[in-house]
Structure 1
Amino acid sequence: MKNQRYGIAMAVKEHLHGGNPITRLEALVLFGVSNLTDVISEMRKEGWTIESRPVPFAAAVKRVNEYAVLEPPKNLPVREIQLTEYWMSK
């Protein structure tokens, strides 16, 4: 199980290292990472500078939909719900 965890965590790290932001929604849908904060905490302990800010749920859905199909329920207030977005600072 540890090797599998390392593999999916590595995918998130490579995504961030490539200059791409990520939210929990994207980590789960695109990489199968159920606890993004563990990966972020590990990266910070390794010395990486990871920044964060709130973004609308709609922004994360838009990015997910570049690679997959995600359609939130019509009554979900996607512009009001906020997710935390993480990115690697240079």
Structure 2
Amino acid sequence: MAEYKAASALREHMLEGNPVTLLEAILLFGVRNPNAEFTRIKKDRFLIESREVPMAKVIRRINEYAVCKVPEELPYKEIQLTEYWIKK
């Protein structure tokens, strides 16, 4: 069985055209330091772009693969997270 590498999984996901936030990188891929991985991707001459998106959108994406519940008091529809993707 092949050994799982979080950084490789994250990179492959992004190379397939999928956006990812820091929250998703940690929760879904197990990347300890997503910003360091983004830097490594940039050093390999890939252009990473970003934009702000509502946390509600990110929670919806996470819930396609895992169960993620936010505290009732958290205004997650108003919180903005940054999502990153590799520009093709």
TM-score (norm 1): 0.89
Distance 2:35 2:82 in 1: 10
2:64 aligned residue (66, 83, 89): 66
Write out per-residue CA displacement over residues 60-86 of structure 1, whole angstroms, 9 at most, x where no aligned residue. 100000000000001101111111100
Compute the displacement of 1:35 (Å). 1.6
More strand by share: 2
Give % identity.
Answer: 50
Structure 1 gaps of 5+ residues are none
Which structure is higher in helix share? 1
What is the aligned length? 86
Alignment of 1:1-90 (within 5 A): 7-90=5-88
Structure 2 residue runs without a partner (length 5+): none
- Structure 1 residue 57: Cα displacement: 1.1
TM superposition score normalised by structure 2: 0.91
Give the RMSD, CA atoms, in angstroms. 1.4
Match for 2:5: what amino acid? G
Which AA in structure 2 matches 1:18? E
- Shift in Å, 1:29: 0.9
